[in-house]
Amino acid sequence: MQDMLPFVVAHAREIAAGALGVIVIFLITMGVRSLLHSQSEVLKDRLRRSVETDTSPVVEVVEPSMRQSFFERIVGVITQVARPTSEKEMGHLQQKLAQAGLRKNNHLLWYLAIKIFLALVLVLLVIGANRLRSEGVAHFPFILVFSMILGFYAPGVWLRSRVTKNQQALNRALPDALDLLVTCVEAGLGLDAAMIRVAEETSLSVPLLSNELRQASLEIRAGASRGEAFKRMAWRTGVDEIQNLSAIIVQTERFGTSVAQALRVMADGMRIRRMQLAEERAATVSVKMTIPLVFCIFPSLLMIILGPAIIKIYHYLVSQGG
């Protein structure tokens, strides 16, 4: 920190100019974005007025942004540049955050803020590194743009990896949870009580699945149907097996079939698919082992086998030549 202080003082003008340039670019981007957004809103409002014929009274709705703190409002204004423009992209991003376990109202705001923050930090680091070198960094504009793109998209890579990790954990735990659910139902518990029981039993081993089952149970208590609760659970997790589970539960409620028998059949099918997936991965091990065998093990084995013979041949040729 003491070494950086003289550098900051000596290059304060250059650092301030770089920060000012970033702020100007940000303000210009925000201005163009707000202009395009306002024009699209005006067009939508005109179309809505030309189509609507309902004369129902207008109800004033307080938006969630009005209940936010001042700091969150400032962050919300800054993150407008990274916010998806279409509703489809926004819904997809919210679904990914929900699948990653980030389901609070301000998680979307902070996710966008982290993307902008990382992009600005990497840009400032590249500018500082360029100032430290007397001859400058080679291909500085390309590295600057690459660092900005890297910082902006790095949280997205982390988000996808976390979603994949959660889905893999749910896929591994779901067959055993279904077996436990079948045992509870066959023991005399209702499906709702069995869900609560399974959530309690899996709270230590698979807390993610336990929380999802508790959430579905609370939604059922609030008045939602079982099929709707499991559909929301499938949306929150992105696991196809849970979507199939919701369809099975809807069919059992509609046709009056045995819930325990349907869950047992589904659990057996999931276990068979899991075994087939394990066999498929095991079959690809020989192909994946080719690269380390050729480039790591085979050269070492070759040197151990042929090394002494090569040394003897070399000494023999040297002695004959001498």
| CB-count burial class (<10 Å; 0-12, 13-18, 19+) for 220 | middle
231 CB neighbour count, 10 Å cutoff: 20
Spatial separation of the C-alpha atoms in residues 276 and 297, rounded to whole Å = 30
Place of tokens 């893999």: 168
249 CB neighbour count, 10 Å cutoff: 22
According to the model, what pLDDT value does residue 34 have? 53
Spatial separation of the C-alpha atoms in residues 36 and 39, rounded to whole Å = 5
DSSP 91-116: HHHHHHHHHTT--STTHHHHHHHHHH
According to the model, what pLDDT value does residue 62 have? 39
User: Across the 322 residues of the chain, what is the mean pLDDT of every consecutive 10-residue run?
Assistant: 51 60 60 53 52 39 49 72 80 88 84 87 83 70 84 90 91 87 87 89 88 90 86 88 85 82 84 86 85 84 86 82 60
* 244-297 pLDDT per residue, tens: 888 888 888 888 888 888 888 888 888 888 888 888 888 888 888 888 888 888
- For the chain, give every domain's residue range: 4-43+67-159, 166-281
Domain 166-281 has CATH 3.30.70: no
Is residue 87 within 8 Å of residue 109, measured between CB atoms? no
